[in-house]
Amino acid sequence: MADEKLLHHILINLLTNAVKYSPEGGEIRLELSSADDDLILRVSDQGLGIPEEDQKHLFEPFHRASNTEQIKGVGLGLVVVLTSVETWGGTIVCQSAIRRGTAFTIKLPLRKIPRLVDSLVM
């Protein structure tokens, strides 16, 4: 009951970021649940956290948080996540605190299961 490619884009990018921005031994969690007609995904970590001033730019192409200069990346992973979530008709929310970690919560409507190919054909 899901678009495998969109789920792949969402999970791979969020889990890769959680690993990349977490100290060794930090806990990374993937929680799946459902409510009403929504699939709810939550990826959380105990990593660096995202500075408040950077949070408003999270989904802008090539933007990287100011505390990540020493970590490789180009700033496109969250753009891919947002595009995948929006293609599905879902929502994404980020909660983060410096040195405490970050959590992304995504709601995807199960009644609307898109196909990536359909979204690219206009």
Domain segments of the chain: what residues? Answer: 4-114
Q: What is the pLDDT of residues 35-48, one digit of tens each?
A: 988 999 999 999 99
Query: What type of residue sits at position 19?
Result: V
Given pLDDT bands bounded at 50, 70 and 90, which one contains residue 69?
Answer: confident
Instruction: Calculate ∠ Cα 43-11-67, nearest 5°.
Output: 60
As a CATH number, domain 4-114 is 3.30.565.10
- Whether residue 105 has pLDDT greater than 60: yes
Residue with tokens 């969690």: 29
Beta bridge partners of 107: 40, 91
- Mean pLDDT to the nearest integer, 94-121: 78
- For 13-60, the pLDDT digits (tens) are 999 999 999 988 789 999 999 998 899 999 999 999 999 999 999 999
pLDDT of residue 115: 52
3-state class of 20 per DSSP?
helix
